[in-house]
A and B are shown apart, each in its own frame.
Chain A
Amino acid sequence: MALLETGKYVPGSVPSGVNPDIASERQTASFSVEKLTAWLDGGAEHTRIRRAVVEAIECDPVFSRENQYFQSQNERYEAAVRKAVHLQKKMREMGWTENGPEHKYIHRALAGDVAFLLHRIFMRSISTLGSDKQVAKWIPLATQYQLIGSYAQTELGHGTYLQGLETTAVFDITTQEFILNTPKISAMKWWPGDMGRSATHTVVFAQLYVHGKCYGVHPFIVQIRSLQDHSLCPGVTAGDIGPKMNFEHTDNGFLMLQNVRVPKENMLNKFCEVQPDGTYVRWGSQKINYFTMTTVRVSVLSDEVVVPLMKACTIAVRYAAVRRQSKLRPGEEEAKILDYQTQQEKLLPQLAAAYAFHLITDYLQKLFDRGYREIQRKNFDTLPELHAFSSGFKALISQYCTSAVDICLRACGGHGYSLLSGLPSLYTRILASCIYEGENTVLLLQTARFLVKCFMAASTGQPVPPSVTYLAAVKPGKCPAKNKLDFLSPDIYTEAYRHTAARLVSSTAAKLQDLIQSGVKKHDAWNQCTVQLAQAAKAHCHYITVKNFAETVEKLKTQAGIQKIMKHLCDLFALHGIFSNAGVFLHDGYLSGAQMDMVTASYLDLLPVIRKDAVPLVDAFDFTDKSLNSALGSYDGHVYQRLYEWAQNSPTNKQMSPAYERYLKPLLHNKLSKL
């Protein structure tokens, strides 16, 4: 490309101004980027606060991520701790509080690259599961960082299946203490963040034994390191679990406990208690212990899943607008790769998904905030539905967004593979979200269990939660669409999703019934249906996502420019889903082959329409260059100059390589006799 003429560039300096290839993309926006940003933030006031937080953090050199891609695991850890400590100071300076409006933007501004995130989970589990007395004792200590907490649930041998945990806590009536043990290698706590090197305390989940009887998994606050010299407490063995695909800045750790005693008051007892004589008392639902996990599932979706996808889309779309390759028409200059249909078909559905999932996580967050208040009032009615929501959506969204980031990475060709593009780190980070807070397949099956139960209830006329009432109305039918434009009607495609989800739930439930009636044991029958059950749960969540997107767009009526482009994105998201899962829509003849061709035609027609607004649509996510930390994705589009400059800063170019003197020189001089 002839961006710069021969001899006119100075190597390693990024020119000022904006690359004309990307500037031109911004001149034709069909909507106001600023207004869309404000809408995404939930109002212009939020945008203002967010920008102020981001600005305050990014101009502070302690929070710089400049050399992050060149750092070792030790350096990353040290930087993360430094940032976490500095953040406390910064918050006091700026007057930000834990409950203030600024708080939720801090994580975004730091790109999660900070220590003590588990400290927050530690606090959250105490406030949810602890009695008022326990909250009063521990929360102030934790808030002032007089201790550092972690959350130790997962073991080497057990993850999502909590009942299988093997750590034990035996009540000793004579001393009124619990004795904690990890009796075998698979019982060792493994993975908890902040635990490998930082934490002084942790919430340990263990099987509670009183008088030889097991009462199931309960949480206990355990001190693991000295508050004076940080040495390990007696009976405690702990350390770092070694290298991972990402999260180098976090000291994920292991923990072994050998006859570690904690006072009776250290069992979190808002919902159950062991009395001094060993009597076990419980009030409220057993499921409440898992509620922390359920809320965490929803809260990670936004910061750890949707935001990374938004970033990946920003990088890949901007890069596709300045990367020119091959020719579309003979005699013209090389075309922007964003003009190729195949490139649009890779990137634009991911962009639409980022919007779809932003909206659904917003919706879920509100639902959960309501549910959380209910549970604080000890009303557990909504718990099963919330649990099914959190499991299914966590699985669908994390899986979808992970493969979407992977698509963005590969859509950037070779340069996407460079860490300096920012994409490999986004990818390795987001893919952890498919596993933590519950393995996705297991979660889908939990949602499926809820759906099958509701379906059975609905078909016998019993009341079911509002989100699943549609299951009662399963009937064979045909899609009424007559031409490809009909498929741009939200009613038409939402109905198709609804029909398909209901069919998958009902047919799987029927198969399950058949198997059981034919004499297959219930659990075997369940296992034989799990592939279809997982598919049904996904279809249900996909349907809700489409429905929520369409309804949100409908409500936007007043904001014309934005509504129009959002409608296009909603259509694209929905039609992409039908196009990619054609089989399930065709299966019972709900869509005909001819209608499927109409879907494909409408879907492909949308690509060039959205392509015109692609760059403004990613600009609206409003990520600063520093937060993207990508040589390919910066606002000014000076991709190549930045890549060259950053590569030259790589330590591999700064320090003399010992490999030459030691190995290459003797090799080249043919004198390599003995090393």
Chain B
Amino acid sequence: EALVINDPDFQHEDLNFLSRSQRYEQAIRKSSMMVMKLREYGIADPEEIYWFKSSVHRGRPEPLDLHLGMFLPTLLTQATPEQQDRFFMPAWNLEIIGTYAQTEMGHGTHLRGLETTATYDPATQEFILNSPTVTSIKWWPGGLGKTSNHAIVLAQLYTQGQCKGLHAFVVPIRQLGTHQPLPGITVGDIGPKFGYDEMDNGYLKMDNFRIPRENMLMKYAQVEPDGTYVKPVSDKLTYGTMVFIRSLIVGDSARSLSRACTIAIRYSAVRHQSELKPGEPEPQILDYQTQQYKLFPLLATAYAFHFVGAYIKDTYHRISGDISEGDLTELPELHALTAGLKAFTSWTANAGIEECRMACGGHGYSRCSGIPDIYVTFTPSCTYEGENTVMMLQTARFLVKSYTQVSSGQQVTGMVSYLNDLSRQRIQPQHVAARTVAVWISDPASLVEAYKARAARLVEAAAKNLQAELNHRKSKEDAWNRTSVDLVRASEAHCHYVIVKLFTAKLSEVSDAAVRAVLTELCLLYALYGISKNTGDFLQAGILTDAQVTQVNQRVKELL
């Protein structure tokens, strides 16, 4: 970080006054410099590159993001050794700049619906790439609009007259030397967006564009010269990258929200307004209960998400270790957990950044406050790498599956193990909801139990509603759709439980007493605020009584 801050080449001007083209140009300038410096300092570790990169660009997107974050890693994981020789080193040396072209105009999260085709022609041993419809035009990839000369294109593979599903192809798109689009390629910038001004998100349309057979990434699936298709060993392995990126978004939620909180809380400490006591000078707005109620729960949330982000990253590394040893047992849970937490944290952080901005009144609306930029840069994370509602429903599918397992007498493990308790209670006559948890509102561990009971109840309710719909209607899909609002709520409750649990668990790891004390208060605030915002769930399930809810509301205000 110090290397960057003291380097005049990276001095940044006030971006607020730059036009979109200027912002793109500045970003490119810095990226070029950055690559040179990385070489100069001999930085090669991915983690170090990441930190170097975020210091240079101050957390903003940049045109080489996709090259470094997707193009190179995809080559590493999916290219054969021969392809590594041909593409990886030139890409590493930036003779090739690549991007990752997956999303199309008509298709995003639902990958199977992608329409771009790659048809194998055995006569010439080439793939013929086509964008057959308007909806199939590749749309959004970063760095595609102006910067890249290659792209990894995801397309439906056709060989011997059959569709074999999605595969990745390395496609040259611009002439090396002149940077002009190659014949058969139409490429450009998709125009102005809410944020991401520095990024040249682009479109790509291909008309009978031919690439050699060897440009299909063939570490797993292969097409032989005669057109014979060889299946990959396991199709689950490609999940890995997605899970990784989603886990990064969880950490990003924490960081973006932390930045917004820092600005809003500091400003609230220096802004004086109105009067609290007649005759006294105007107080800091941070002394108003309503202001505290806006900002401090968000501060607690930022801390909570920070710990969740760290947990997810560690879990990912642990489980990908298992995976490379061939153990896939934990993959479904990890996949479900990252999907849900990605959605939960990005939704909450998104709303939280806006709260922070509004807590700064009119000046928050000025671009000079810095918060608008944080918001517009962060908000697309609710959509990219999997639309949030779809993510929540994926988590729900896992929860319902686990619930079904429990109902049929099996035990489940991991974060969903609380579902095991449901079957135990069914032996007793009373409904799970009627179970009274002795909730002690100043004890984080007791609150974890309350959240656990809420998650269990909502998962059970959703699963039962689903079953009821199934009994009424014939089709499984209709029943699922008619229950999806309940299912999303169940997933949210599950994620909320996981977060409270992780935050609480973290407390015991803190050795410094003062730090532990303040973190414990934040943890309590986070948990109690969540209850006061969702009192309906806790009251309806009989987890808490009216009087306890009043106490919770009171305690939240005391903690402020």
CA distance A618 to B481 in the complex (A): 24
The verdict on B146 contacting chain A, using a C-beta distance below 8 Å, is yes
Complex Cα distance, B413 from A242, in Å, reads: 56
Given A527-B289, A653-B189, the answer on whether A664 and B540 have CB atoms closer than 8 Å is no
With A9-B134, A329-B475: A159-B362 Cβ-Cβ less than 8 Å: yes
A419 adjacent to B132 (CB under 8 Å): no
Q: How many residues of B contact A (CB 8 A)?
A: 113
Instruction: State which residues 345-396 of A face B: CB under 8 Å.
Output: 345-346
Check if B176 is an interface residue, CB within 8 A of chain A: yes
| Contact status B481-A414, CB under 8 Å | no
- Assess the B203–A531 pair: CB atoms within 8 A: no
Query: Which residues from chain B contact A341 at a C-beta distance below 8 Å?
Result: 481-485
B549 and A587 form a contact (CB under 8 A): yes
- Segment at the interface with B among A272-280, A435-443, A493-501, A563-571: A435-443
Q: Which of B43-51, B227-235, B274-282 is the interface stretch?
A: B274-282
Partner of A641 from B134, B481, B538, B540 at Cβ < 8 Å: B134
Docked Cα-Cα span, A326 to B193, in Å, equals 26
Bound Cα distance A531, B483 (Å): 34
Nearest CB in chain B: distance from A470 CB, A:
23
Select A668's contact among B149, B365, B389, B393, beta carbons within 8 Å: B149
Query: Which of B109, B137, B192, B275 has the most C-beta atoms of chain A within 10 angstroms of its own C-beta?
Result: B192
Q: Is A92 an interface residue (CB 8 A)?
A: no
A675→B10 CA distance, assembly (Å) = 12
Q: Which of B236-244, B313-321, B375-383, B442-450 contacts A (4 or more CB under 8 A)?
A: B375-383
B124 interfacial contact with A, CB 8 Å: no
Report whether B16 and A243 are in contact in the complex, using a CB–CB cutoff of 8 Å: yes
In Å, the complex CA distance between A647 and B191 comes to: 5
> Count of chain A residues with Cβ under 8 Å from any Cβ of B?
116
Q: A326-B110, A643-B105, A652-B145 are in contact. Are A434 and B358 (CB under 8 A)?
A: yes
Query: Which of B19, B383, B481 is in CB contact (< 8 Å) with A417?
Result: B383
Q: A413-B383, A587-B535 are in contact. Are A342 and B484 (CB under 8 A)?
A: yes
Question: Is B221 engaged at the interface, CB distance under 8 Å to the other chain?
Answer: no
A663-B29 CB under 8 A given contacts A413-B108, A418-B193: yes
Contact B21 A657 (CB under 8 A): yes
Cα distance A11–B190 in the bound complex, in angstroms: 14
Tell me the complex Cα distance, A160–B282, Å.
13
Which residues of chain B in 343-381 are interfacial with respect to chain A, using CB atoms and an 8 Å cutoff?
Answer: 354, 358, 361-362, 364-368, 372, 376, 379-380
Report the bound CA distance from A616 to B138 in whole Å: 32
Given A11-B134, A161-B274, A658-B25, does the pair A419, B365 have CB atoms closer than 8 Å? no
B335 at interface, CB cutoff 8 A: no
Chain B residues with Cβ below 8 Å from A302 are none
Interface string of A320-350 (1 = CB under 8 A from B): 0001111111100010000111110110000
- State which residues 523-570 of A face B: CB under 8 Å: 523-524, 527-532, 534
The reply on A482 being an interface residue by CB < 8 A is: no
Indicate if B140 sits at the interface (CB-CB under 8 A).
yes
What is the CA–CA distance of A242 and B132 in the complex, to the nearest angstrom? 45
A340 vs B477: C-alpha distance when bound (angstroms):
11
Enumerate chain A residues within 8 angstroms of B481, measured Cβ to Cβ: 328, 339-341
* Contact call B362/A523, Cβ cutoff below 8 A: no
Question: Is A514 an interface residue, CB under 8 A from the partner?
Answer: no
Residues of A within 8 A of B137 (CB): 640, 644
- CB < 8 Å neighbour of B133 from A9, A415, A527: A9
* B53 lies within 8 A of chain A by Cβ: no
Indicate if B252 sits at the interface (CB-CB under 8 A): no
Known: A243-B16, A244-B366, A326-B113. A668 touches B176 (CB 8 A): yes
Quick one: which of B167-192 are within 8 Å of A by CB? Answer: 176, 179, 186, 188-192
| B290 contact from A436, A531, A582, A664, Cβ within 8 A | A531
Is A7 at the interface (CB under 8 A from chain B)? yes
User: Please, which residues of chain A bring their CB within 8 A of the CB of B393?
Assistant: 342
Of chain A, the residue at the smallest CB distance from B195 is: A417
* Contact residues, A232-275 vs B (CB, 8 A): 241-245
Q: Assess the B146–A586 pair: CB atoms within 8 A.
A: no
Q: Are A652 and B110 in contact (CB under 8 A)?
A: no
Asked if A660 contacts B282 (CB within 8 A), the reply is no
Q: How far is the CB of A432 from chain B (nearest CB, A)?
A: 6
Q: Which residues of B contact A3 (CB under 8 A)?
A: 133-135
Do residues A604 and B485 form an inter-chain contact, with CB atoms below 8 A? yes
Cα A1 to Cα B33 in complex, Å, equals: 43
Question: Are A586 and B540 in contact (CB-based, < 8 A)?
Answer: yes
Given contacts A158-B273, A647-B188, is CB(A241)–CB(B366) below 8 Å? yes
A94 at interface (Cβ–Cβ under 8 A)? no
Q: Shortest distance in angstroms between A246's beta carbon and chain B's nearest beta carbon? A: 8
Within 8 Å by CB of A647, from B190, B287, B362, B364, lies B190
Q: Which residue of A is nearest B535, CB measured? A: A583
Tell me the complex Cα distance, A419–B147, Å: 21
In angstroms, Cα B277 to Cα A340, docked, is: 53
The B195-237 residues at the A interface (CB cut-off 8 A) are 195, 200, 203, 205
Query: Which has the most chain B C-beta neighbours within 10 Å: A159, A531, A604?
Result: A531
Q: Is B35 an interface residue (CB 8 A)?
A: yes
A218 interface contact, C-beta 8 A: no
B194 interface neighbour in A159, A419, A439, A675, Cβ under 8 Å? A419
A209 within 8 A of B: no
- Residue-wise, chain B 517-549 has the 8 Å CB interface mask toward A (1 for contact) of 000000000000000101111111110001001
The answer to the question of A157 belonging to the interface, with a C-beta cut-off of 8 Å to chain B, is yes
Instruction: Type the 1/0 row for A633-675, where 1 means its CB is closer than 8 Å to any CB of B.
Output: 0000000110110111111110101111011111111101001
Contact between A528 and B557 (Cβ–Cβ < 8 Å)? yes
* Chain A residue with the shortest CB-CB distance to B482: A341
For A524, the chain B residues whose CB sits under 8 A away are: 276-277
Closest to B200 in A: A652
Q: Note all chain B residues with C-beta closer than 8 A to A440.
A: 358
Pick the contact of B362: A436, A530, A648 (CB < 8 A). Answer: A436
Contact B146 A657 (CB under 8 A): yes
B488 adjacent to A342 (CB under 8 Å): yes
A340:B484 contact, CB within 8 angstroms: yes
- B421 sits at the interface (CB 8 A): no
Q: Let me know if A242 and B16 touch, CB within 8 A.
A: yes
When the two chains form their complex, are residues B290 and A154 in contact, meaning their CB atoms are under 8 A apart? no
| A653-B189, A659-B25, A666-B32 known; A410+B383 contact, CB < 8 A | yes
- The residue in B105, B191, B194, B291 that gathers the most chain A C-beta atoms within 10 A of its C-beta is B191
The residue on B at minimum CB distance from A329 is B477
**Contacts of A342 on B, CB cut-off 8 Å?**
389, 393, 484-485, 488
* Interface 1/0 per residue, B95-112 and A, CB below 8 Å: 101000001011111100
Partner of A523 from the list B190, B271, B277 (CB cut-off 8 Å) is: B277
Q: Are B536 and A581 in contact (CB under 8 A)?
A: yes
A670 to B35, CA, bound (A): 11
B9 CB within 8 Å of chain A: yes
**Does A42 interact with chain B (Cβ within 8 Å)?**
no
B488 touching A243, Cβ below 8 Å: no
Q: Which of B4-40 contact A (CB under 8 A)?
A: 9, 16-17, 19-21, 24-25, 28-29, 32-33, 35-36
Q: Is B94 an interface residue (CB 8 A)?
A: yes
Across the A-B interface, the 7 shortest Cβ-Cβ residue pairs: A582-B536, A583-B535, A650-B191, A424-B194, A326-B110, A161-B274, A652-B189
Interface residues of A (CB under 8 A from B): 1-7, 9, 11, 69-70, 72, 154, 157-161, 163-164, 190-191, 241-245, 323-330, 334, 339-343, 345-346, 406, 410, 413-420, 424, 428, 431-432, 434-436, 439-442, 445, 521, 523-524, 527-532, 534, 581-589, 593, 596-597, 604, 640-641, 643-644, 646-653, 655, 657-660, 662-670, 672, 675
- Other contacts beyond A69-B191, A586-B535, A640-B134: 12, CB < 8 A: A160-B361, A325-B107, A334-B110, A341-B482, A342-B389, A342-B485, A439-B361, A531-B557, A582-B535, A652-B191, A658-B25, A659-B24
Could you write out 15 A-B pairs with CB less than 8 Å apart?
A243-B368, A414-B139, A414-B380, A435-B364, A436-B362, A530-B290, A531-B289, A581-B536, A582-B536, A582-B540, A586-B535, A586-B539, A587-B539, A647-B203, A655-B21
